[in-house]
Amino acid sequence: MDRIRITGGATLNGVIPISGAKNAALPLMIASLLTPETLELHNVPRLADVQQLLRILGNHGVDTAIAGKRPGQTSETGQSIRLKAASIIDTVAPYELVSRMRASFWVIAPLVARAGHARVSLPGGCAIGTRPVDLLLMVMEKLGARVEIEGGYVVATAPSGGLRGAHIDFPKVTVGGTHTALMAAALADGETVIDNAAREPEVVDLADCLNAMGARISGAGQSRVVIQGVGSLGGASHTVLPDRIEAGTYAMAVAMTGGEVLLEGARPELLQSALDIIVKTGADITVSNEGVRVRRNGHGIDPVDVTTEPFPGFPTDLQAQLMALLTRAKGTSRIRETIFENRFMHVQELARLGSRIRLDGDVAWVDGVERLTGAPVMATDLRASVSLVIAALAADGDTTVNRVYHLDRGFEALEAKLGRCGAQVERLSGD
């Protein structure tokens, strides 16, 4: 199993191109099941999760082709993928595929909407919380599907005549539930109204793509979304939006190490709440047509008080990275996690580097320390793993991060991007 070794102490200076957003690319790829025509996606990141989803879609009959590199394109600037589900040959999503990536459960929506039936494995456990699928199943039932649980599988069947428009009022904000509702309602008969919809940019990106395919969706990015169902969807060409979580992660890395880095292609409006917090820690941020430039000023890192919230609030996917940054703050910071009930698993690993963090329910108190010291650490999930990288960049000596397959799921060319800006990062092959 591969590991990453980081020698801390170097500042970061240079340019980091921001990749396409994983959390947008996955539902966009799943949307290819809604049409027999070709969906072409550009700026798709080269990630393990993308490859896994291609295998899952292939199981349903989606033909995929990855386009060759275009002029100026590198391994860090995304890829173009053509997906075509001329016919759906299998409506079963087996456990051995779904268990590897929870987002693959979302195939239930286009399979039922287009083929009238789906048998999808329940996704099983998750390192950062239960993340139940009950709200996704509620969506399908509201739209008229019959939903049953049989032997660890969800069996969903549309009524004769297909899914029907309905009013869906989510009891809490759910990105997965909103993705599911958009895809299922796009082909439902009549009007669907979603209240308390997720407002994340990745939801808007999916709605934009579906509209390009012929859907009639209005209000995406707001709490109320209205979908007028259509009889069929066609092909389209769509560019995946830049990854706000990757941009925020590298911004925090620069704030941690010092230096100055241009996050090329980053869109500030996608992560304004995170940028505001980074400024409060003492970094300088400037915005231009090129992207977002981050520079650590000379007075050190200031403590902050942060609560994770659905968009446009501070994202839970940046909580671990912020905690790593705050381990070197001049004082005590408070982080409250409201989205996932078990997303402090990185605390014990950060402690191995010398951090001082106290947990009290959903609150973490981070007492800044003068120095961190390199040590062997182990990644527990995607965002926790990159928080260890951020801490290691500022630690004295070497840090070895184990289980880096978590990083490969969500960060494209991480070693190359950091290395080109002066970090000493090396991947070590292992058993």
DSSP 290-358: TEEEEEE-TT-----EEEB-STTSB-GGGHHHHHHHHTTSSSEEEEE--S-TT--THHHHHHHTT-EEE
With the C-alpha atoms ordered 134, 139, 142, 145, is the resulting torsion angle positive or negative?
negative
User: Is 113 within 8 Å of 188 (Cβ atoms)?
Assistant: yes
Q: Is 132 annotated as a binding residue?
A: yes
List CB contacts of 387: < 8 A, sequence separation 6 or more.
320, 321, 323, 324, 346, 350
Residue 303 to residue 368: CA distance in whole angstroms: 8
Asked about 421 being catalytic, the answer comes back as no
Q: Is 22 annotated as a binding residue?
A: yes
Residue 61 to residue 84: CA distance in whole angstroms: 8
Which SS3 state, helix, strand or coil, does residue 273 take?
Answer: helix
In the numeric block, which tokens belong to residue 415?
Answer: 């070693």
Catalytic residue among 65, 126, 149, 428: 126
Burial label for 299, CB within 10 Å (0-12, 13-18, 19+), is: exposed
- DSSP symbol at 81: E
Cβ–Cβ contacts within 10 Å for residue 259, how many? Answer: 19
Q: Is 133 annotated as a binding residue?
A: yes
Q: Is 134 annotated as a binding residue?
A: yes
Residue for token pair 């408070």: 334
Q: Is 23 annotated as a binding residue?
A: yes
Q: Is 102 annotated as a binding residue?
A: yes
List CB contacts of 173: < 8 A, sequence separation 6 or more.
196, 197, 198, 199, 310
Q: In what order do the strands lie in the sheet with 92-93?
A: 92-93, 117-121, 153-157, 146-150
Q: Is 339 annotated as a binding residue?
A: yes
Q: Is 69 annotated as a binding residue?
A: no
CA 20 to chain CA centroid, nearest Å: 10
- DSSP symbol at 80: E
- Which sequence positions are flagged as catalytic? 126
Binding-site annotation: residue ranges: 22-23, 102, 131-135, 317, 339
Binding-site annotation: residue ranges for phosphoenolpyruvate: 22-23
Binding-site annotation: residue ranges for UDP-N-acetyl-alpha-D-glucosamine: 102, 131-135, 317, 339
